[in-house]
Structure 1
Amino acid sequence: MSTDAEFADARRIPPIPPQPPRRPAPAASPEPAGDPHTAVLRRVPAEPSAPGTPPVPPRPTAPPPAPPGAQPPAAGAPLPPRPARAPGPAVPPQPAARPDAFRDTAAFHLAHSQDLWSGPGAPSRPGEPDSVPPQAAAGSAPPGPASARRPQPPWSPASPPVQGGAPGGLPPRPSASRPGARALAAAACLVLGVGLIGGAAAGSWLTDEAAGATPDAAATFAKGRDVWHNTPVDALFPRTVNGFGGGPGGADRTWSRIAVAPDSGCTGAYDPKLADALARAGCLRLLRATYVDATRSSVITVGAQITKADQAGMMALNTRFSTRSLGTRTDLMPLPYAARDTPAEDFGRAQRASWTVRVLTDVPVVVYAVSGFADGRTFAEPQPAEAATKPGATTAPAESGLGHDAKDLADRIGKDFRTAAGSPPQATEASS
């Protein structure tokens, strides 16, 4: 195997300068043990001799002492010859040391810097164990035991753990011996619960007070004027009306709605004399519906006229109907609503058997009802509902229950209008 030195030109190699005389080495001063990564020039130790070569003893500077009893040589006498040394192994000549001038070159530092980074004294990377302890710098104290040495920090030291913290850097849990936060939370919950209970009790008390208080009569009257378009038709004219004890002799009655007329004005809805009697109150809207009883033998039309009068006007109209008996005159009977394709299809003026007219004073409404037979039979002498419902009445409207149908349905529809307006229950007015 050849090397580059065998092919080098010996004539171009400059001669090695002679070794300068050695100077006495100054007193060794301890060098600071710096970071092995800093560029500090250190003294390079002498190269060791070849293995197996005995060390050369130093040359004595003083002559050996004379044996006892020997006379010192006279002045000017020749010195005795030195005794011949026994032949030993040949000592190879010590290679000349390189001058210190070559140690300041860049090639010298590059050749010797590898030991600083990857040699035994190189620091270990974070996470790798230090298999070989770093060598102490020249002039420093020898390393002590491993337990006495200070551990070297890693290159990227981590932040110290929080005292008393949980593993993994998590914040410590609050100690169970500190009941301050729990006590405050419990107190807040208690106060909130008491406040909610107190608020509910106060609201219930206020609601009971408001429910038990008498509503304002003016507000109820004003609200009753708008129920015709603010209330569903099924609330004003229910599909089924149960009259418990409303028939002759206290018999139960049931009526079913078979037709509802579109809301309209009052023109052509009454006979001329009844229209003149109700004209003083004015007509805002007229609502009508027709019912049939459970036997489908009698039909009843119920109407509700929303007036334009105020409370005083409704009181005056009620008084006029009561004092002049306008509700019992046969020439003031209301007209029925005969819907096609229903049992009331043949219900006309000649089929009217009983009727009633109610002028309400707490809401601006006039309620009426008129009844007759579903087979279209006529009546020459109709009878008012108040007369047909008296005990002992033997007329056809009384015995057939047509008077009870008109009276009970008028009472029920008037009650529904009052309920929609928020008026308290009242006693049923007598027929006007």
Structure 2
Amino acid sequence: MSTEARRAPFPPRPTDAPAPAETEAQTEDEPSVFAPRRPLERPRETRPPVPEARITTPPPPPPASARFPDAPPPRTPAATPTETTTRLRPVPAGSEPAAQVPPPPAWNPAPAPDPALSWNAPWPVGAFGQPQPYEEPVRGLGPLARLRSRTGVAAVCVVLGLGLIGGALAGSWLTGEDGERTADSGFAAAGSLWHNVPVDQLFPPTVRGTGAGPGGADRSWTRIAVAPDTGCAGAFDPLLARALAPVGCARLLRATYTDATRTHVTTVGLLFTKADPAAMAGLAARFRTERLDRRTDLLPLPYAAKGTPAAGFGAKQRASWTVSVLTDAPIVAFAVSGWADGRTVDTPEAAPDAVRSGATSAPAQAGLGNEAQGLADRIQRKLRQTVSPATEKPS
């Protein structure tokens, strides 16, 4: 089809309309829009030569005085050398973005312990409500075999126990360390001291009492007279003699001492009874419960030897006293003290009361309670030291 035929359907252009001006773009090489198009040829791209990489220093900024007239002049930094090579420099630290640190893992608490493994867990219960023991049955052994093994262990324990008991009994029999026999032998040996031991061992010529005086002062007593061994007649007040009658009187030993100043005199005595340990324990309990050792009508009498500082020491001169019933020996120990000048005492005071702190009686102020208590204690100690070697058996 020709060009005129394609243009026929369009109405003709008015004659009075100006013809459009041709642009510079429509050339002879580019046809009209209504003409058939020719394929356009893409021009070849020509790449310019790559210049050599060169790193130059940027121009310095304008001085601060130009930008900020009032600012002080900046310090001039040291000149840095420029690099004109094409090699790559290492990137300084801090120029790269900080690495993303992964968040820490979520906290996962430890699992709770199993309650069944706790010490407070209930004991497993068997078929009939009895605790089920944690023991593995030995394969190949029945209940009869386990019973036999337990019986054997029990028999071994019984044999060992009997052997230990028998060895202890045999050792005590061979060494003679039976407690009851030792106590009986000591009790019997103490009852025979009055004729088996010299008088100087029972009543030493000099007795030292460290801390026995008032306020813990030291005392020293010297023996001035020893009474012959006699019976108990006339040695005690009637009521005291009646109280001592149940244990009997085997022998009575007495001695009189004076202090270092020869101001006080004290008679100390040992009454050897005929009683057994049970009777002596009963008498001691009676003195303790009824306080017979504190009654002023139950006093021992002194031994007044002629020609000594104790010549005028009688019943009316008694100022303080003490009575002790021994339970480990058939002996009653006593002591009574007074002034050596023969002065009388209206109201004597028991030694346990006279030695108390704050006592204001005349015997307490003079220290006569300490004289009686201190001397009696030292004689009893000497007596026990004498009994101990007598009851020891040779090895």
- TM (norm. structure 1) is 0.48
The equivalent of 2:362 in structure 1 is 396
Q: Equivalents in 2 of 1:415, 1:309: separation in Å?
A: 21
Alignment check: 8 A CA contact 1:363 1:418 kept: no
Q: CA deviation at 1:310?
A: 0.1
Q: CA deviation at 1:393?
A: 1.2
Could you tell me which residue of structure 2 aligns to residue 255 of structure 1?
221
Give the 3 Å change call, closer, same or farther, for CA 401–211 of structure 1 in structure 2.
farther
* SS across alignment from 2:358: coil
**Cα deviations across residues 348-383 of structure 1 (Å, max 9, x unaligned)?**
011000000000000000000000000000111100
Question: Which of the numbers 267, 271, 280 marks the counterpart of 1:305?
Answer: 271
Report the equivalent of 1:351.
317
How big is the shift at 1:270? 1.0
The separation in 2 between residues aligned to 1:212 and 1:354, in whole angstroms, is 42
In structure 2, relative to structure 1, the CA distance for the partners of 1:211 and 1:243 (3 Å cut) is farther
After TM superposition, the structure 1 = structure 2 runs for residues 125-136 of structure 1, keeping only pairs within 5 Å, are: none
Q: 1:374–1:225: structure 2 CA closer, same or farther, 3 Å change rule?
A: same
Tell me if structure 2 keeps the 8 A contact 1:281–1:309: yes
In structure 1, the residue matched to 2:49 is none
Amino acid in the other structure paired with 1:388: A
In structure 2, give the amino acid aligned to 1:302.
V
Q: Distance in 2 between matches of 1:283 and 1:213?
A: 30
For residues 5-34 of structure 1, give each alpha carbon's deviation from its aligned partner in whole angstroms, at most 9, with x where no partner exists: xxxxxxxxxxxxxxxxxxxxxxxxxxxxxx
Aligned to 1:168: none
Trace 1:47-86 onto structure 2 (pairs within 5 A).
Answer: none
Partner SS for 1:224: helix
Deviation string, structure 1 residues 310-351 (Cα, Å, up to 9, x no partner): 000000000011111110100001000000000000000110
Q: Which amino acid aligns with 2:342?
A: G
1:165-213, Cα deviation, whole Å (9 max, x unpaired): xxxxxxxxxxxxxxxxxxxxxxxxxxxxxxxxxxxxxxxxx9xx98999
The residue aligned with 1:244 is: 210
Q: How do residues 130-145 of structure 1 correspond to structure 2 at under 5 angstroms?
A: none
Taking the aligned partners of 1:256 and 1:322, their CA distance within structure 2 comes to: 31
Give the secondary-structure state (helix, strand or coil) at the position aligned to 2:334.
Answer: strand
Query: Does structure 1 residue 379 correspond to structure 2 residue 345?
Result: yes
Matched, 1:274 2:216: no
Q: Tell me the secondary structure at the aligned position of residue 234 of structure 1.
A: helix
Counterpart Cα distance in 2 of 1:315 and 1:345: 36
Question: Per the alignment, in what secondary structure is the counterpart of residue 218 of structure 1?
Answer: helix
Q: Which of 234, 237, 249 pairs up with 1:283?
A: 249
Per-residue CA deviation, residues 364-405 of structure 1 (Å, 9 max, x unaligned), is 000000000000001111000000000111221112110001
Q: Distance in 2 between matches of 1:308 and 1:346?
A: 33
Distance 2:178 2:250 in 1: 30
2:281: which partner in 1?
315
* 2:294 pairs with 1:328: yes
**Structure 1 residue identity aligned to 2:269:** G
Count of paired positions: 217
Give the whole-Å Cα distance in 1 for the aligned partners of 2:380 and 2:175.
24
SS in 1 for 2:297: helix
CA 392–216 in structure 1, closer or farther in 2 if over 3 Å, else same: same
Q: Out of 404, 409, 424, which is 2:375 matched to?
A: 409
Q: CA 1:242–1:374 in structure 2 vs 1: closer, same or farther (change >3 Å)?
A: same
1:414 and 1:371 map into 2 onto residues whose CA distance is 17
What is the identity, as a one-letter code, of the residue corresponding to 1:244?
T
Question: Which of the numbers 177, 180, 195 marks the counterpart of 1:229?
Answer: 195
| Cα deviations by residue, 1:25-62 (Å, 9 ceiling, x for unpaired) | xxxxxxxxxxxxxxxxxxxxxxxxxxxxxxxxxxxxxx
Q: Which runs of 5+ in 2 are unaligned?
A: 1-170, 391-395
Greater mean alpha carbon deviation, residues 267-276 or residues 367-376: 267-276
**Any idea what SS the aligned residue of 2:371 has?**
helix
Kindly state the Cα deviation for residue 264 of structure 1 after the two structures are TM-superposed.
0.4
User: C-alpha deviations, 1:251-271, integer Å up to 9, x for none?
Assistant: 110000000000000011111
1:112-131 correspondence runs (5 A): none
Which runs of at least 4 in structure 1 moved beyond 4 Å after TM superposition? 209-215
Q: Report the Cα offset of residue 413 of structure 1.
A: 1.3
Structure 2 counterpart of 1:300, which letter?
T
Contact 1:362 1:423 in 2 (8 A): no
**For residues 378 and 423 of structure 1, what CA distance do their matches in structure 2 show?**
43
How much has 1:421 moved relative to structure 2? Answer: 1.7
Deviation, structure 1 residue 415: 1.7
Provide, for residues 130-175 of structure 1, a one-character-per-residue CA deviation record: whole Å limited to 9, x for no partner: xxxxxxxxxxxxxxxxxxxxxxxxxxxxxxxxxxxxxxxxxxxxxx
> Does structure 2 conserve the Cα–Cα contact (< 8 Å) formed by 1:269 and 1:335?
yes
* Structure 1: runs of 5+ lacking an equivalent: 1-205, 425-432
Q: 1 CA distance for matches of 2:236 and 2:244?
A: 10
**CA distance in 1: counterparts of 2:239 and 2:205, whole angstroms:** 32
CA separation in 2, counterparts of 1:386 and 1:363? 22
CA distance, structure 1, for counterparts of residue 389 and residue 354 of structure 2: 29
